[in-house]
Amino acid sequence: MNTELRGDLRPPSLNADEKTTLLSFLNYLREAVAAKASGASDKAIRTAGVSSGTSILGLIKHLTAVELNWFAWAYAGADVEQWDDESPPADNETTESLLAAYDQAIGRCNEIIHACDDLDRPGARSLRETPPPTMRWVLVHMIEETARHAGHADILREQMDGSVGR
């Protein structure tokens, strides 16, 4: 993963501003998810570890779509179709290609976040039947979403080969 797009992955200082704090925690979690694909075969990363069909590669594909849907489509109002966040990885989608797509999405979303000078400003539209959320809401939502799936990836990787930790 291209850490240059995410910046410093260390926790923020205790007196960092709000946007720096939120983005630092989101970047840390993004990297934790991507790290779960490291050192395992494409087949293993693609294999579902639970009866629902969830795989590490599927989580990466899902998070890519969710990032783009909330930051680019909903918040920034990018003139693009919404990305499918429910389909499993296709046969032609590899660990390498989906990690690259996740990396590109993170870079694009971080540009949107950095360009926002008011966390209270609502975005262009919503993915839900609610008014457009603020950047603060989107950041907190993506921290929650990414943390939840990082936990799933932790368990899937441990089931796969016993690997634990970040």
- Could you give the CA distance from residue 121 to residue 92 in angstroms, rounded to a whole number? 39
Tell if the pTM clears 0.85, that is, is over it. yes
Closest CA to 71 of 100, 40, 105: 105
> What mean pLDDT is reported for the chain?
91
Per-residue pLDDT at 3:
47
Q: What is the DSSP string of 96-156?
A: HHHHHHHHHHHHHHHHHHHH-S-TTSB-S--SSSSSPPBHHHHHHHHHHHHHHHHHHHHHH
All structural domains of the chain with their residue ranges: 16-161
b/e map 24-53, b = 16+ CB within 10 Å: bbbbbbbbbbbbbbeebebebbbbebeeee
CA 92 to chain centre: 21
Residue 10's pLDDT band (boundaries 50, 70, 90)?
A: low
Per-residue pLDDT at 28:
92
Closest CA to 25 of 108, 96, 113, 105: 113
Do the Cβ atoms of 63 and 11 come closer than 8 Å?
A: no
- Could you give the CA distance from residue 112 to residue 46 in angstroms, rounded to a whole number? 30
pLDDT one-digit tens code per residue, 54-75: 999 999 999 999 999 999 999 9
pLDDT one-digit tens code per residue, 108-165: 999 999 999 999 999 999 999 999 999 999 999 999 999 999 999 999 999 998 888 6
Query: The CATH number of 16-161 is which of 3.10.20.30, 3.20.20.70, 2.40.50.140, 1.20.120.450?
Result: 1.20.120.450
pLDDT at residue 13 tops 70: yes
